[in-house]
Structure 1
């Protein structure tokens, strides 16, 4: 495959999964500039790794894995304390005040999770199976199930205390 064909193929596939990359950027950053910077960093890392993608896993799984690893590394390097400001996996428009309040409390509770727990809950909210989450995060399926249970318990507790 020529470099131009490789680039065109990459751009097409990234375009198809752009929303997924945005979700990770939004999950790990508060302000717009950081979100854009992280998005670009993820794209750059995907491009570097793309020639080595063998198709042993789904493309979305591979993208999520690189995106999450990039986000965690990016945060460590930048030494910033970035949290969820908006998550595309949850509704952005909420009409009634009570639902909006619950949504904001949930966002606050998610802000308090560590990076891996944020990634796991994002993947779960996106409808990924335990097997897929395990593959993306590098955890075992049993560990994923345990973590999801603990995350849900923590979020319920945090929401009931507010």
Structure 2
């Protein structure tokens, strides 16, 4: 029998799971790594959920936990995502099939974005998600001005990567 906390978590995760898929797509290169990172982010979200105060939107909080988890694992494993076992809680979440065909037109952009550092990737990701600079700054823990300056530099860098 699910508790109210478990029920609300599963409901919110199902509603916003595309956020996690997008983070996984950004930081992994294959199906297995994508699934492993998805599982790890879900575990970290569940561990942190009781502390979620609702000061920010759930999706903003989810971006922050997801990106921090991906960046931490990415740095620890030097580009090979590893997972940790989590015993005791089992969720049955209806996972949507991640359809890569919808993003074929973004393939070139993703290749270029993969050449950026961790923070630059996160900033581009949030920018492409149509987040305003205030939400980007809150998610990444930087000032709005810093987010704008970094984004302008990243745009220049991406143009150089895409048009050598």
TM-score range, shorter chain: 0.7 to 0.9
Question: 1:58: which partner in 2?
Answer: 57
Please give the secondary structure, in 2, of the residue aligned with 1:14: helix
CA distance in 1, matches of 2:161, 2:18: 29
Please give the secondary structure, in 2, of the residue aligned with 1:17: helix
Normalising by structure 1, report the TM-score: 0.83
Question: Kindly tell me: are residues 47 and 57 of structure 1, through their superposed partners in 2, closer, same or farther at Cα, counting changes over 3 Å?
Answer: same
Normalising by structure 2, report the TM-score: 0.82
User: Per-residue displacement from partner, 1:99-122 (whole Å, max 9, x unpaired)?
Assistant: xxxx54423221110011011001
Q: Does 1:41 align with 2:52?
A: no
Question: 1:109: which partner in 2?
Answer: 112
Question: Aligned-pair RMSD on alpha carbons?
Answer: 2.0
User: Per-residue displacement from partner, 1:110-138 (whole Å, max 9, x unpaired)?
Assistant: 11100110110011011000000000000
CA distance in 2, matches of 1:81, 1:43: 18
Q: Please list every run of 5 or more consecutive structure 2 residues that lacks an aligned counterpart in the other structure.
A: 82-98
Question: 1:6: which partner in 2?
Answer: 5
Residues 26 and 110 of structure 2 are in contact (CA less than 8 Å); yes or no, is this contact kept in structure 1?
no
Q: Does 1:160 align with 2:163?
A: yes
CA distance in 1, matches of 2:4, 2:80: 39
Which is worse superposed, 70-79 or 20-29? 70-79
Please give the secondary structure, in 1, of the residue aligned with 2:3: helix
Q: Does 1:124 align with 2:123?
A: no
Question: 2:77: which partner in 1?
Answer: 78
Question: 2:22: which partner in 1?
Answer: 23
Residues 133 and 144 of structure 2 are in contact (CA less than 8 Å); yes or no, is this contact kept in structure 1?
yes
Please give the secondary structure, in 2, of the residue aligned with 1:56: coil
